[in-house]
Structure 1
Amino acid sequence: MATYAIGDIQGCHFSFQHLLSEIQFNPSRDRLWLVGDIVNRGAGSLEVLRWVYQHRAVINLVLGNHDLHAITVAEGFAKAHRGDTLQAILDAPDRDVLLGWLRCQPLIHDGGEYVMVHAGLLPQWTIQAATSLAAEVSQALCSDDYRDFLAQMYGNQPATWSDELEGMDRLRVITNAFTRLRICNDAGEMDFKFKGELSDIPQGYQPWFDIAGRQSKDATIIFGHWSALGLQQRDKLFALDTGCLWGGQLTALRLEDRALFQVPCSLEDAPQLITPD
């Protein structure tokens, strides 16, 4: 038995299947951890979503911003963006089953030795606190009135966490941190405009994982979301978004021995390259 964590797939069905073949994935024996953004921008979003749903018994998935975008577009609270590849999902006869399942996936997975999120954790949060806060958003997403949450989910404010936050302000900060965070300042104020490389980070900000005194520093965290960051391997940190969609690679990390496996982007998945977000 082996457990593989895989970076942002983003609808790259052919690359995903190539990677599964490379690691000799066997659903009767192995498990997959997926860091979110399984759909959108690649040519096979529906195929990826169907495959993941079919194998859900052996998969741990955390929600990414593109997954939430797909759900919000389907519910009519957002418009598709240029370059989105969601129409096949929206037109599929099984869309409600697929998106209903996707909507109820968590924002964090604590597997003991490793913790997985899509984007990041605010410096004030311990893993225990982050898990509890993520559960608040999951409760909203899986409730009967989940549409009320989706209707108010988007926005960049508040940009800083406070234990005193309530209502949608509280849920929006939690959601943004887990699915959109790349950089913040020492106080945990998030900057959502920046999407570039480490050398271009604005003055006063740092990658969320480099903030001094980060309360989750003792946990080994796996994440994706930041394609310009590329592969990062530290003792307690693994960034696995290696930009498959943008002509890079799709990456898997075997958790038992930290072995890496990579396959190149398939042109069938990304026939055109567009500005990543």
Structure 2
Amino acid sequence: MANYIVGDIQGCFDELQLLLEQVKFTPEQDTLWLAGDLVARGPKSLETLRFVKKLGSSARCVLGNHDLHLLATHLGYFPAKPKDKTAPILSAPDCEELMDWLRAQPLLAEQDEFVMCHAGISPVWDLDTARAANAEVTALLQSSDWMWLIKNMYANHPTQWNQDLQGIERYRYIINAYTRMRFCEQSGELDMACKLPPSKMNDSKLMPWFQVPQRISLEKTVIFGHWAALMGCHDENANVIGLDTGCVWGESLTLLRWEDKQYFQQKSLKSRS
């Protein structure tokens, strides 16, 4: 029995299948952990959703920003962008079933030794706060108010966490931290604008969320995706592992076998702009 963890697939279904063949993934014995952004700019988002859903309890998935945006597009709040290549999902006969499955996924998944999320865990959260924040939004996504949440989640504020935040301000912060965060200020305040790799940053005020000096230490390794510009990341001091290596941009899809910390990669089958 093994735990395999994969970074952003973004519709790169064929590359995922080749990776799983490479490690001889067996659903009856193994668990596949997916760090969000199942869909978007790759060619086979529909196939990816159907495959992961069919895995049932052999898959553990968290929501990414593109997955949430798909829900917003499905509700008609935004037109489907051709570059996102999600139109086949929206016209599929099982679209409603897939959307119900998608919104039932959490923002945080947990194993004895690691936690997994899409973008990261706010540096001002301890693990109990992170768990509680995930539970709040996950419950709302599965409630009758889920459409209200999806419609109103788009904003870059608030950028600072306060336990007294309420309503949509509270939910926005949680969603942004879990699905969009990259850089923070030294205080832990989120910066929602910069997408550069850290090596190209010339703003001394900003740093990767996992390098904030006052970041609260968690008892487990944090595994995340989202930040393709990092091209993978293993920061032992911060106890984090980033797995997004830009397959959808013509690079590679990366999978980690947790038990022996071995990495496997599948080169993108086609460069995509």
Q: TM-score scaled by structure 1?
A: 0.95
Residue 109 of structure 2 corresponds to which residue in structure 1?
109
Q: Where in structure 2 are the equivalents of 1:234-249 lying within 5 Å?
A: 234-235=235-236, 236-249=239-252
- Stretch of structure 1 that moved more, 39-48 or 121-130: 121-130
Matched-pair contact (CA < 8 Å) for 2:187–2:214: no
Residue 266 of structure 2 corresponds to which residue in structure 1?
263
- Stretch of structure 1 that moved more, 190-199 or 128-137: 190-199
Residue 32 of structure 2 corresponds to which residue in structure 1?
32
Matched-pair contact (CA < 8 Å) for 2:188–2:215: no
Amino acid at match of 1:164: D
Take 1:23 and 1:81, find their aligned partners in 2: how far apart are those partners?
A: 34
Residue 231 of structure 2 corresponds to which residue in structure 1?
230
Q: Is 1:211–2:250 an aligned residue pair?
A: no
Give the unaligned 5+ runs of structure 2: none
The Cα of 1:217 is off from its aligned counterpart by 4.2
Compute the RMSD of aligned alpha carbons: 1.1
SS at match of 2:241: strand
SS at match of 2:83: coil
Q: Deviations over 1:102-137 (max 9, x none)?
A: 111000012120110100111110111101011111
The Cα of 1:194 is off from its aligned counterpart by 1.2
Amino acid at match of 2:166: E
Q: Is 1:119–2:122 an aligned residue pair?
A: no
Q: Where in structure 2 are the equivalents of 1:142-221 lying within 5 Å?
A: 142-201=142-201, 202-221=203-222
SS at match of 2:228: coil
The Cα of 1:199 is off from its aligned counterpart by 1.6
Take 1:186 and 1:144, find their aligned partners in 2: how far apart are those partners?
A: 38
Amino acid at match of 1:212: P
Take 1:96 and 1:249, find their aligned partners in 2: how far apart are those partners?
A: 31
Q: Deviations over 1:41-74 (max 9, x none)?
A: 0000000000001002201101000000111100
Amino acid at match of 2:204: Q
Residue 6 of structure 1 corresponds to which residue in structure 2?
6
The Cα of 1:77 is off from its aligned counterpart by 1.7
Residue 80 of structure 1 corresponds to which residue in structure 2?
80
Give the unaligned 5+ runs of structure 1: none
Identity %: 43
Q: TM-score scaled by structure 2?
A: 0.96
Equivalences, count: 270
Take 1:181 and 1:82, find their aligned partners in 2: how far apart are those partners?
A: 25
The Cα of 1:234 is off from its aligned counterpart by 3.0
Take 2:184 and 2:209, find their aligned partners in 1: how far apart are those partners?
A: 6
Q: Deviations over 1:192-221 (max 9, x none)?
A: 221111122332011000011211344211
Matched-pair contact (CA < 8 Å) for 2:187–2:212: no
Amino acid at match of 1:133: A
Residue 251 of structure 1 corresponds to which residue in structure 2?
254
The Cα of 1:90 is off from its aligned counterpart by 0.1
Misfit runs of 4+, over 3 Å = none
